Amino acid sequence: MNVGIIGSGIIGLSSAYYLVKAGHQVTVIEQGNLKDGCSFGNAGMIVPSHIIPLAAPGMISKGIRWMFNSTSPFYIKPRLSGDLLKWGYHFYKHATKEHVSKSAPALKEISLLSKSMYQQLTEELPFDFGYHERGLLMLYQTKETEEEEIGTVALANRQGIEAHMISKEEVQRLEPEVKVNVRGGIYFPGDAHITPQSFINQLIPFIKNQGVVFKTNTEVTDFLIEKNCIRSIQTNQGEFTFDEVIIATGSWSGIMTAKLGISLPMQAGKGYSFTLHNVEKNIHVPSIFLEARVAVTPMGNMLRFGGTMEITGVNHSISMNRVRGIVNSIPKYYPEMKVDLPQHNQVWHGLRPCSPDGLPYIGRSKKLNNLIIATGHSMMGLSLGPGTGKLVSEIVSQEQPSIDITMFNPERF
């Protein structure tokens, strides 16, 4: 098959890798220049532990509390937007225990698939991308958070994801170089992490050498539809024709599918990160500060801090107050770690594609026979990238998908 992928984030690149491996001709169309994207500066965590979708009980009340604090980890910019209202309505409808119960098995399956793909990639790829299986620590400081997380641990263990509540002394034993100030933690030994910029920067030239063609600075302007098929893609660099079209455009996917008459509720969730270099005493296990919603990942002698979820539309402004919130949280959990507020140009940001029910969109369109959608992974894009790419390749090749993807139906709304 001659396959066109629109988007060169981790989902698009993973799809390209598995498609060309399966013998297809692959062209990646990218509006930018491959030098940045939501996959470069994220926390690099591969987290089968994350089986609770964003739309979950309690998220709305927490979100409302956080809305009025300029340094908080969550913010929705109030604006007159039909898309935002529709997204908010669906989020509200899905923030239930029933939705979590239905979604957790599906998220577990795709997470475990993707982790197994990463394990294979460490054997298949001729380069190192910093893959380590050291688990994940969820650190908490309050009794209220501890009580909430008891349910998380119980759910994970019911689903076959190993999870342990551990004491502050046990947390400290896992971190021999850095003093940790916590009430306790949850330890997920099955999680892993990579250095994302290393992975992306080496994967692109590798798949180019395998025959993948990249069309950069190429903006999709429209589609020609005939007889329930995409006959051609119109761009500012000319017209392209493919047997199969994959939309993997992240936060822009709702805008892209609207050109095809397909409703794909989506909001861009902006996140920030900054990276410390030449860290002498580094943490060993990737961690999440639960109260502050900050992710911390060691990457060799670097240490990356990331966080916030700003639903502010597709824009690239940086709120230094949100970054200050991340910085202020660090000495609360690592009291001996002194971190200054980074300069504006040292702060990375990315737009996470958030579906309203917290599940990705993966599957073939029922409306257009040669369209496959792969997007909406929220904060889990890197974690679920190879698994999603494998599924996309199986769909194109008309093979039985490795897992049941019914819950990820892209036209479920």
360 pLDDT more than 90 = yes
163 inside domain:
yes
Q: Is 338 exposed, middle or buried (0-12, 13-18, 19+ CB in 10 A)?
A: exposed
Beta-carbon contacts of residue 74 (< 8 Å; ≥ 6 apart) = 62, 63, 66, 67, 293, 308, 309, 310
- Evaluate if pTM is beyond 0.85: yes
393 pLDDT more than 70 = yes
pLDDT tens readout for residues 202-239? 999 999 999 999 999 999 999 999 999 999 999 999 99
Q: Is 205 exposed, middle or buried (0-12, 13-18, 19+ CB in 10 A)?
A: exposed
Beta-carbon contacts of residue 270 (< 8 Å; ≥ 6 apart) = 308, 309, 310, 311, 312, 315, 349, 350, 351, 352
Q: Residue 192 is encoded by which pair of tokens?
A: 């892993």
Reduced to 3 states (helix: H, G, I; strand: E, B; else coil), residue 309 is: strand
Residues 170 and 185: their CA atoms lie apart, in Å, by 9
Residues 268 and 272: their CA atoms lie apart, in Å, by 13
413 inside domain:
no
pLDDT tens readout for residues 139-190? 999 999 999 999 999 999 999 999 999 999 999 999 999 999 999 999 999 9
291 inside domain:
yes
Q: How would you list the strands of the sheet with 238-240, edge to edge? A: 220-226, 229-235, 238-240
Report the share of the chain in percent with pLDDT over 90: 87
**408 φ/ψ angles, rounded to the nearest 5 degrees:** -100, 10
Stretch 395-404: mean pLDDT, rounded?
Answer: 98
Alpha helices in 159-252 (DSSP H): 168-174, 196-209
Residues 298 and 305: their CA atoms lie apart, in Å, by 9
122 pLDDT more than 90 = yes
Residues 157 and 60: their CA atoms lie apart, in Å, by 26
The reported pLDDT for the residue numbered 70 is 65
Number of domains in the chain: 1
Reduced to 3 states (helix: H, G, I; strand: E, B; else coil), residue 51 is: coil
Asked if 408 contacts 360 with a C-beta cutoff of 8 angstroms, the reply is yes
**Which of 300-304, 318-322, 387-391 comes out lowest in average pLDDT?**
318-322
Q: What is the CATH number of the domain that holds 239?
A: 3.50.50.60
Domain span at 274: 2-408
Q: Residue 34 is encoded by which pair of tokens?
A: 């491959």
83 inside domain:
yes
How do 164-167 and 184-188 pair as beta strands?
antiparallel
108 inside domain:
yes
Stretch 341-365: mean pLDDT, rounded?
Answer: 96
Q: How many CB atoms lie within 10 A of CB 382?
A: 28
Asked if 31 contacts 219 with a C-beta cutoff of 8 angstroms, the reply is yes
Confidence band, pLDDT 50/70/90 cuts, at residue 71 = confident
Residues 147 and 193: their CA atoms lie apart, in Å, by 27
The residues with which 136 forms a beta bridge, in sequence order, are 188
